[in-house]
Structure 1
Amino acid sequence: MKKMMLLLTLTASAFALNVEAGESDFNKPITVDAQSQFVDGKNKTSVFREDVHITQGSMEIKADEVEVIATGGEGREIFIARGNPAIYAQDMDDGSRVSAQANTITYEVVTRAITLDGNAQLVRDTSMVQGDLIQFDMEKEQLLAESNDGEKRRVKTVFRPEAFKKAQNEKQPESQDNPF
């Protein structure tokens, strides 16, 4: 259990350093374009098909099909993007870019959360997380990755050496007098 908590803490710290989507992104309109669209006004749902692109500021989602559920009212829409894979990318306030892919990407507008389901992968700077399910809260700067298959398939996080080298260089004193 302690190892699991340490891994989750390390994973969260890798993504939590100013990992907030540009606040201005959330104040911009959401645009969806596709080859075709079906609207069910009575049930407040829409389905977009073929080469679907969703944009909101710097946020982009690309998918084969997107279902929009608007039963919660304006500003509470849920976008369910499906693809092989569906792709998400967004610029963060610190200038970094987060990118992700999964079989299904669910974007809940009101909670500012992305859920990646099925062959999920999220990359930021020099870190990458893979799992069956990844939940990424852009506002709270929190990430949760899970595996659905117990011991056979596990969550995997990769910290690339570039980040460690950069951190070590920042720790080194400017003076060459100290060899340690």
Structure 2
Amino acid sequence: MKRSKLLMAIVCCLLSTPSVAKLDDINKKLEINATKWDADFQNNRIFYKGNVEITQGTIRISADELTAIDDKINGNKILTAIGTPATFSQILDNGQIGTASASKVRYDKSSGMLVLSGNAKLDVGGSKWTAEVIRYNIKNQHAIAESASDGSNRVKTVIPANSYQKLNKKETNKPQTPTEKKP
């Protein structure tokens, strides 16, 4: 019983990073459903296979398989979801919906690195990015998107018109400094 609590704590720890999840989601119960569960207690590894579904608050993850590793020696906590595609969705603090999907989703909690690889897609409130690989460092909020090595599946960004129209409106309505004059 103590070991199963430890493994659940590993998965909870991996999923509930404050900079990723809504604060409210972190306090919600974590539920994992799958066809098969395999736990290696000695090596702190959990493996779920077959229609894996994870829910915690507004967070939803689905994949064909999921592996959670807590490497005590190197301090790595790694969550890897594989699917056709593996998907993630969450209602963000601002009420927008964030979704991500890829053939493989890997999150390394110690480095804060989230890697979506294989037809990677990211959608935050209607702004969309697609690429072969999207790397996002949660700690420093730095993202890199890459096309496939053969040049296919190029990096694509789609920004809804209302997003930049709001930005233009803010710029137009900003107070003028004494040196600025309206034409």
Q: Please, what TM-score do these two structures have when normalized by structure 2?
A: 0.69
The CA RMSD measured in Å over matched residues stands at 2.9
Kept after mapping to 2: 8 A contact 1:20/1:141 = no
Task: Give 5+ residue unaligned stretches, structure 1.
Answer: 1-18, 174-179
- Aligned position for 1:15: none
- Supply the distance in 2 between the matched residues of 1:115 and 1:35 (Cα, whole angstroms): 25
Q: Which segment drifts farther, 43-52 or 130-139?
A: 130-139
Identity %: 29
- Supply the distance in 2 between the matched residues of 1:131 and 1:57 (Cα, whole angstroms): 28
Q: Give CA-to-partner distance per residue, 1:123-167, whole Å, 9 cap, x none.
A: 011211111111233454332211231544421111122323344
Closer, same or farther in 2 for the Cα pair 1:23/1:141, shift >3 Å? farther
- Which 4+ runs in 1 deviate beyond 6 A? none
Q: Please, what TM-score do these two structures have when normalized by structure 1?
A: 0.70
- Aligned position for 1:102: 102
Shift of 1:119: 0.5
Aligned length: 155
- Aligned position for 1:56: 56
- Aligned position for 1:157: 157
Read off the aligned partner of 2:65 and give its amino acid letter.
E
Closer, same or farther in 2 for the Cα pair 1:72/1:98, shift >3 Å? farther
Read off the aligned partner of 1:67 and give its amino acid letter.
T
- Supply the distance in 2 between the matched residues of 1:55 and 1:72 (Cα, whole angstroms): 26
- Aligned position for 2:43: 43
- Supply the distance in 1 between the matched residues of 2:30 and 2:86 (Cα, whole angstroms): 17
Kept after mapping to 2: 8 A contact 1:87/1:100 = yes
